[in-house]
Amino acid sequence: MTGVSIGHIAWHVDIGNSFYATSAKGKASGVLSVLMNGEGTVVTSGRIENGHLAPTYFTSSIVDDDGKTVLQMSFADDIAEETFNQKPPIKQKLMPVTDVDRRGATDPLSAMLIPSNVRNDALASANCNRVLLIFDGQRRYNLILTYKRMDKVKIEQGYSGPALVCGAALQPISGYRENSLVVKYIAGRRDIELWFVPITGTSNMAPIRVLVPTLIGTLGIRAEQFEAVAISALPAPMPSNVPPQQN
């Protein structure tokens, strides 16, 4: 943010013919770690149905200044159901998450691995035209994507080539503080950017760069390494009621 490193994220994705698994781990670092506490791990597994990622199980363990939150979430009959194993006291009133909000939503990791809408052309402009319905077990929101432009990226470790740049507008739904200044500032803005590149060997794309305007400057997330490796086979997914093993 404003040229200062504030954290690192490692994101691993396994995509098979009929199922997938993905996990991400991140931690605040540098000057941000002095100002605030923040680290966490999220894990998702699910099926691939008609080219789309359909999560069956999601778990997250997040530590921030409010405390530690550990939750599990399952997806059945198109409805997300969360269970908290650990949760800090709620200090402010939050907009309640309803059953309607939970219907049709996906987890944050699955949502960002977007499938191509155009056959054999992952970087087609039409692939930006979609609404991502996201629920992380606490907050429910939409990301409304629209085509912005084509650009190029070059990473020393991995991908070098064209990138599909989508504009993204945040639409908060529930689970937020009603008087949140940050949400009010970001919601509806049209200058958020998500840069997507194809994952070799799949019909999915992943974000390689994210730009988000904030009250104190532009937050930029960029990949320092982006590599795809073909593997012969993946183990069968675990039942939805069994937490996946974390490494």
Asked if the structure places residue 242 within a domain, the reply is no
pLDDT by residue (tens digit) across 14-50?
999 899 999 999 887 765 554 556 889 999 999 998 8
Residue at 67 is within a domain = yes
Structural domain boundaries, residue 194: 7-226
Q: Where are the beta strands (DSSP E) in 157-246?
A: 157-158, 160-174, 192-198, 205-214, 217-222, 225-226
Cα separation of 61 and 38, whole Å? 11
Strand 157-158 relative to strand 225-226: parallel, antiparallel, unpaired? parallel
The answer as to whether 213 is a domain residue is yes
pTM here is: 0.85
Assess if residue 232 is contained within a domain.
no
Q: Is residue 130 part of a domain?
A: yes
**Does any domain span residue 235?**
no
Tens of pLDDT along 114-138?
998 887 788 899 999 999 999 999 9
CA distance 203 to 185: 34
Q: What is the mean pLDDT of residues 129-158?
A: 93
How many domains does the structure of the chain reveal? 1
Q: Does the residue 236 lie in any domain? A: no
